[in-house]
Amino acid sequence: MFSELKQALANQTYRPAKVMFNEAAYVPAQCYTKTQDEANNTYNPCYVCHANGKRPNYINGTDLQTEYGFTAEYLQTNRWKNLFRDFSKPIAAQSDQEITQYIRSSNYFNADNQITLAAELAKPNKNWDVNNNGKWDGYTPDVYFNFDAKGFDKTPNGQYTGWRVFAYAPFPGAFLPTNGSTDDVLIRLPEIYRQDKDKKFDLKVYELNLAIVESLLKEENIQIPSTDEALYQVDLNKDGKLNLASQIVYRWAPKQNIYMSYVGLANSLFDQQAIKMAAGLYPEGTEFLHTVRYIDHNDKGQMQMSARIKEVRHSIKTSWNTYAQLQNAALSEIKEKHDFPERLRQFSGNAETGLYTGFGWRYQGFIEDKIGKLRPQTYEETVACMGCHSGISATLDSSFAMPRKYNQDQFKLGWYHWSEKGLKALPEYQYSDGRGEYTTYLKHNPWGDEFRSNAQIFNKFNPVNESAKASLTAQIKQDISILLEPSQERALLLNKAYRAIVQEQSYIWGRQAVLNPAKNIHQFIESGTATGIETAILK
C-alpha cells in the first residue's frame, strides 16, 4: 500500500498534471455515500449539495439525490482510499499532550508575529515556481487575524489589510466541527470599494459597501449602524429621502429601472458604468480567505479554533459573468455529460496562480507538509477544491459562507471572529419556508455526517424517548453548539487521525479524518444505480 502511495506522491506536480492518482479529484468522497443500510432504511445527506439552485446558480442537482450520476466509467470507482483505512495505530501513537501541543503551535506566524509562509514565498521553492520566473505569482497570505471591533483585519503597525471576518452558519455534514475541523472565512473587496470619491481610504465607505454587497447577494434587507445618507448622497433605505438609515433596503429590478448603488468611489464608477452590479453576484475582484483548522478546547472545556492551520484557501472573482453566461455554463456541463459521457472535467491554471472554475472564479491554497509547515497545494490537491465550488446547487456565486452569514439582530451584525464569540447560543439557520436547517438534516440523516459514522451525534440526538428527542430538537433551534461541537475526547481523536494523514502526505487519498474504516460508503458504484431515495428534497 505504501509503495503505491510513494509512487503516487512522486507524480505530484504543481503544473497541470498529465498523471494524477485521481483524475476525478473534483468529485468529493461524500458523493459515494451509501444511502441505504442493510435493513433498507434510507438516508439522504445528498440534498444539502444537490437540490434546486437559486438564481444565478442554474445548477439543479435533484436527480443526484435519487440516483448515482457518475456518467464516466472512471468515476464509478471511489479512489479516496483513506476512508477505508484503519488509523487506530497512528492515533494511539500520539499522546493527548503531544497532539495538544502540536495544534497549539502556530505554523502561520513566526516568533516575531510575521507570516511565515509570506517570507518563504518571497523566495519560492523551485518546484512551486511553475513559470520559472524566480518569483511567486499566486496569492501570498496577508491576513494577520488582528481584528478591530468591527472585524476589520489590521497589520501589526495598524494598517488595514482590507480583509474583514464574519460569522456564519457552518454547512451541514463534513464542515460541522464535530466532523473534524474548525474554520473561519474573511472577505475583501477591491480598493475602489474602500475609497471615498476622492480616492482616499474610508473605513465607513468600505463598511457600507460590504453591507450593500451582502444585501445584493442575499436579496434581502441588511441591518447597518445608523448612517447619515446625506454624507454619501445615496438613499440606502429606499424611502425617497436622504436621512438616517438603519438598514440597506434590497430593491433591485433593472427591467423596471429600479437600482441600488454603492457609496464612495464605487458609486461614481457605477454611474459611469465602469463596474457592474447584479442580485446574487459579488463585484469582480472580490476575494475570500478560508482557513481550516484543528479543534482545540480552552481550560473551561469550551471549543476553540487551533493556532495551527490545516489549510489556507484563497479565491478571487476574476471575471464578471451575466445571468445568461452563468446559465449557459451550467447548461454546457449538462450537454458535455450527454455528448461525451466519458470525458472528465478539466481545469485551466496551475497550483501557483490557481485553477479556474469556468464560472468566473480562481482557487488556490496551502496545506501542511509532513512536519506541519504550510506549503502550496499541488495541482491534484487543488483540483479537490473545484467540484464543490463549481458543480453543485448549494453555492451562491460559487461561495458557501457569505450567503450563510449572520446579520439581523445577531452579535455585531455577524462581523466578528470565532475567537471573539463561539457557536454557543447561535440560533439555527432557517430555510425560506421556516424549516430549521440542522434539524431537517438530522431528520434525513440522523448521524450528522455523510458517512454515518458520527456516533456522538447519533447517540445524543436519537434517544428512545420521543419527548427527550423533541426537547433536544427544540434546543438546537436556540443553540447550535449542542449539535455542532464535539466532545474533547472526540476532538483529540479527530486531530490525531488528521495528523496521521499529514505525516504521510496522503491527501490525494482523502483528507477527511475518520476514526474507523468507513462502512457506509461505496468503493464502487455503477452510474444510474438508484439511491433508494424516492422523492428529492428541495431547499
| CA pair distance 79, 76, nearest whole angstrom | 9
232 secondary structure, DSSP code: T
Residue 22: Cβ-neighbour burial (10 angstroms; 0-12, 13-18, 19+) = buried
**Helix (DSSP H) and strand (DSSP E) numbers for the chain:** 15, 11
| CA pair distance 138, 353, nearest whole angstrom | 4
pLDDT for res 98: 98
Percent of the chain with pLDDT over 90: 94
Residue 172 has pLDDT above 80, yes or no: yes
Give strand ranges (E) for 208-272: 222-228, 244-248
* Secondary structure (H, E, C), 118-154: HHHHHCCCCCCCCCCCCCCCCCCCCCCCCECCCCEEE
| CA pair distance 289, 51, nearest whole angstrom | 26
Q: How confident is the model at residue 3 (pLDDT cuts 50, 70, 90)?
A: confident
Residue 499 in contact with residue 190, Cβ under 8 Å?
A: no
Residue 2 has pLDDT above 80, yes or no: no
SS3 call for 308:
strand
Q: Could you tell me the pTM of the whole model?
A: 0.97
Q: How confident is the model at residue 249 (pLDDT cuts 50, 70, 90)?
A: very high
| CA pair distance 131, 226, nearest whole angstrom | 50
Residue 495 in contact with residue 99, Cβ under 8 Å?
A: yes
Per-position DSSP letters for 58-118, written without gaps between them: --B-THHHHB----SGGGGB---GGGGS--HHHHHTS-HHHHHHHHTS-SSB-TTS-BHHH
Q: What integer is the mean pLDDT of 237-249?
A: 97
SS3 call for 225:
strand
Cell 426537547 locates to: 471
Contacts 24+ apart (CB under 8 A), 322-331: 322/278, 323/55, 323/56, 323/278, 326/56, 326/57, 326/58, 326/359, 326/360, 327/56, 327/58, 329/358, 329/359, 330/53, 330/57, 330/58, 330/59, 331/58
Q: Which three three-digit cell numbers place residue 296?
A: 482545540
| CA pair distance 187, 44, nearest whole angstrom | 32
pLDDT for res 345: 94
Q: What integer is the mean pLDDT of 53-67?
A: 94
Q: E strand or H helix at 359, and its extent?
A: none
Q: What integer is the mean pLDDT of 10-17?
A: 89
| CA pair distance 300, 307, nearest whole angstrom | 17
| CA pair distance 347, 471, nearest whole angstrom | 48
Contacts of 56 (CB under 8 A, 6+ apart): 278, 279, 280, 281, 323, 326, 327, 397
pLDDT for res 464: 81
- Residue type at position 150: K
Percent of the chain with pLDDT over 70: 100
Could you report the per-residue pLDDT of 522-534, keeping only the tens digit for each?
999 999 999 999 9
| CA pair distance 296, 525, nearest whole angstrom | 37
Q: Which three three-digit cell numbers place residue 516?
A: 474507523
Q: Compute how many other C-beta atoms are within 10 angstroms of the C-beta atom of residue 507.
A: 21
Residue 366 in contact with residue 141, Cβ under 8 Å?
A: yes
Residue 208 has pLDDT above 80, yes or no: yes
Per-position DSSP letters for 2-24, written without gaps between them: HHHHHHHHHT--SSPPSS-S-TT
Contacts of 54 (CB under 8 A, 6+ apart): 280, 393, 396
pLDDT for res 19: 81
| CA pair distance 114, 135, nearest whole angstrom | 20
| CA pair distance 388, 397, nearest whole angstrom | 12
| CA pair distance 48, 31, nearest whole angstrom | 12
Omega into 56 within 30° of 0, i.e. cis? yes
55 secondary structure, DSSP code: T
Distances (CA, A) of 115 to 129, 140, 186, 232: 19, 10, 17, 37
Could you report the per-residue pLDDT of 346-374, keeping only the tens digit for each?
999 999 999 999 999 999 999 999 999 99
SS3 call for 355:
strand
pLDDT for res 408: 85
SS percent in the chain: helix, strand, coil, step 5: 30, 15, 50
Could you report the per-residue pLDDT of 471-512, keeping only the tens digit for each?
999 999 999 999 999 999 999 999 999 999 999 999 999 999
Q: Compute how many other C-beta atoms are within 10 angstroms of the C-beta atom of residue 288.
A: 23
Q: Compute how many other C-beta atoms are within 10 angstroms of the C-beta atom of residue 115.
A: 18
Q: E strand or H helix at 460, and its extent?
A: helix 455-461
The answer to which of 102-111, 139-148, 230-239, 329-338 has the lowest mean pLDDT is 329-338
Q: How confident is the model at residue 158 (pLDDT cuts 50, 70, 90)?
A: very high
pLDDT for res 149: 98
Q: How confident is the model at residue 30 (pLDDT cuts 50, 70, 90)?
A: very high
SS3 call for 179:
helix
SS3 call for 183:
strand
